[in-house]
Structure 1
């Protein structure tokens, strides 16, 4: 049975590799923490499997990359794509705060359990438990602020990909960022509010894929499974 959506543009969501705070579970927003040695290995292993000519992320099909300015994301970019490929991407890379991690405000560097305990000490959450997706962060970002900056990136991507829904031109997009913001991005891509209950997981160094149904830019979709076979031109 032929793939009815073959040739439809894709958006690859790539989470940076492991850091020390990834391991401990501490909120890591504005802090610039390097990848661990294992984190670098995670990214290199992913690159071997999914990056290259004819593979899931074929550099010849990538028209734009959006990268968080945090060092852990920039290092992930360097490990994913070799120097000749990065040279090939010149003019296609946008390093932007719009795709940086959620600003956790008072919760930066602490565990979720500590954030909840601190809120209760300050007299918050008496009627319901704190939910970052709904309530945001004290002295940090709200879901509305997250929505605003992510919607701007999504609008840019739709403008890039919209004219080429049937594969007339390769216009895949790569986003290299962080766990929380990429899950928020997937919600907004699908048209859901940031606070909607939609449990998702994205491991360090892992790749998620978004696209469209029926070759239609107005039907954004999440690719539940990806065929790893070579993509035909």
Structure 2
């Protein structure tokens, strides 16, 4: 049985494009940075290649989109869907219709990890500050295990992501093997929270040593093995649908 069967819903993870702090690795949680010009180019390129009628993310197959309220995520959503739809034209002209308003939710549930006192710092700076205060004598600070002072703990992040996953499964479970009713879900958010989401989707604790990389402007894909909502999985790779050449 193929895992690429279109009757199995997918969850697409869309990371926002580059910001000024993305470039130098600063922890960016609540700080509302805009995309850089290059970040806009990153997302626009992803939209052109992967979003549209007959493409990997087909708006006609999307049941819901959850968007982080941060500016960089909202800009990314607009580039992926709204701008893409306007550029393609209306449905009557053979273009891609915009998503219905009721299919889009801007929510803190998928906002970036709240870094609290560590906002705007580099990993080395955080570890140095903690060391100066006599912390982490036996092992270096690790956000997946230790969380952030003045911000969120790993347990708090786990709780809110598990609630999001429950919402998604409520949408998708009735649509598995029902003749192909569209039920794809898209999350437009941030690098760390989306990697945390992958761990929770796979039912791993956040401190599980699962090394992942997620480039700005990139798309990740999750789904279910064997058309079974109790077998969440991720795509190591997948073939893209064939589209007409420009």
Residue-by-residue CA offset, 1:55-84 (whole Å, 9 max, x unaligned): 100000001000000000000011111354
**Structure 1 position 117 matched with structure 2 position 128:** yes
Would you say the 8 A contact 2:81–2:98 is kept in 1?
A: no
- Map 1:15-94 to 2 at 5 A: 15-83=15-83, 84=85, 87-94=98-105
The number of residue pairs the alignment matches comes to 230
Equivalent residue, structure 2, for 1:96: 107
Residue-by-residue CA offset, 1:129-152 (whole Å, 9 max, x unaligned): 111100101111110000000001
Structure 1, unaligned runs of 5 or more: none
Would you say the 8 A contact 1:100–1:178 is kept in 2?
A: yes
1:6 to 1:136, Cα distance in 2 relative to 1, 3 A: same
1 CA distance for matches of 2:110 and 2:98? 22
1 CA distance for matches of 2:144 and 2:165? 19
Would you say the 8 A contact 1:69–1:100 is kept in 2?
A: yes
1 CA distance for matches of 2:21 and 2:238? 30
What TM-score do the two structures reach when normalised by structure 1? Answer: 0.95
2 CA distance for matches of 1:4 and 1:47? 24
**Structure 1 position 134 matched with structure 2 position 145:** yes
Would you say the 8 A contact 1:5–1:215 is kept in 2?
A: no
Would you say the 8 A contact 2:81–2:99 is kept in 1?
A: no
Using the TM superposition, give the Cα deviation of residue 123 of structure 1 relative to its aligned residue in structure 2, in angstroms. Answer: 1.1
**Structure 1 position 3 matched with structure 2 position 15:** no
1:109 is paired with a residue of what secondary structure?
Answer: coil
**Structure 1 position 221 matched with structure 2 position 239:** no
Would you say the 8 A contact 1:29–1:108 is kept in 2?
A: yes
1 CA distance for matches of 2:215 and 2:100? 25
Equivalent residue, structure 1, for 2:188: 176
1:108 to 108, 119, 137: 119
Would you say the 8 A contact 2:76–2:188 is kept in 1?
A: yes
1:88 is paired with a residue of what secondary structure?
Answer: coil
- Map 1:204-215 to 2 at 5 A: 204-215=216-227
Would you say the 8 A contact 1:15–1:176 is kept in 2?
A: yes
1 CA distance for matches of 2:56 and 2:184? 10
Would you say the 8 A contact 2:11–2:186 is kept in 1?
A: yes
* Structure 1 runs of 4+ with >2 Å offset: 2-5, 82-89
What TM-score do the two structures reach when normalised by structure 2? Answer: 0.90
1:229 is paired with a residue of what secondary structure?
Answer: coil
